[in-house]
């Protein structure tokens, strides 16, 4: 005999089953992403600013595109130098640590190239690996680090910044996926 339920009952049951399945074991990641890669997140092209740009212009560019992180690249070599976190930038402006007329170089967070290895995230990176990157408190060579809120997506040779993905992008992908 078939069982019928109201739409709200079905929705509640579906929501309950999805929250039960949200463990962080690798096997559940594979079930959650089903072979999807970073490319499936469809990240927008990266917006890069120069260290000499004004903080005000970087803020405006981030607001226009609804970005929370901007990459900072060298004006001459186009190499990746660091990033600008808009929430952190807002706090620095609120505290009076920096002004909108200051250059991006005063507020940017630089990448530590001397620390050694870092994990390369490309468009072909599986989403299980991306989630592990966000959730892990250990770097690729085992050093302790903070959990990551975003990842810079590059080509395999790390010459070009293709985009930036956040932990929120990954969460939205899981919500949208049937």
Q: Domain residues for 36?
A: 31-174
Q: What does each C-alpha distance from 57 to 52, 62, 63, 70, 102 come to in angstroms? A: 11, 9, 10, 12, 10
What is the domain count for the chain?
Answer: 1
- Asked whether residue 7 is assigned to any structural domain, the reply reads no
Tokens 């995230």, residue located: 121
Question: Does the residue 49 lie in any domain?
Answer: yes
CATH number at residue 60: 3.10.580.10
Q: How many CB atoms lie within 10 A of CB 168?
A: 11
Bridge partners (DSSP) of residue 165 are: 151
Among 117, 110, 55, smallest CA distance to 86 is for 55
Domain assignment present for 104 = yes
Give the least confident one: 43-52, 138-147, 153-162: 138-147
**pLDDT tens digit sequence for 65-111:** 999 889 998 888 878 888 999 999 999 999 999 999 999 999 998 88
The answer to the question of residue 8 being in a domain is: no
């Amino acid at each position: 005999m078939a069982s019928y339920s109201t739409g709200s009952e079905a929705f509640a049951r579906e929501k309950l089953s999805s929250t039960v399945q949200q463990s962080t074991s690798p096997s559940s990641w594979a079930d959650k992403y089903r072979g999807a890669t970073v490319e499936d997140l469809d990240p927008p092209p990266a917006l890069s600013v120069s260290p000499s740009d004004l903080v005000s212009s970087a803020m405006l560019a981030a607001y226009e595109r609804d970005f929370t992180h901007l990459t900072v690249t060298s004006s001459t070599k186009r190499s990746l130098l660091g990033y600008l976190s808009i929430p952190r930038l807002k706090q620095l402006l609120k505290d009076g640590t920096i002004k909108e007329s200051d250059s991006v170089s005063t507020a940017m967070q630089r990448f530590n190239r001397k620390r050694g290895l870092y994990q390369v995230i490309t468009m072909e990176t599986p989403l299980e690996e991306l989630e592990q990157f966000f959730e892990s408190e250990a770097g690729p060579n085992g050093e302790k680090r903070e959990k990551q809120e975003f990842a810079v997506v590059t080509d395999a040779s790390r010459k070009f910044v293709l985009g930036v993905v956040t932990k929120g992008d990954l969460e939205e992908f899981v919500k949208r996926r049937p």
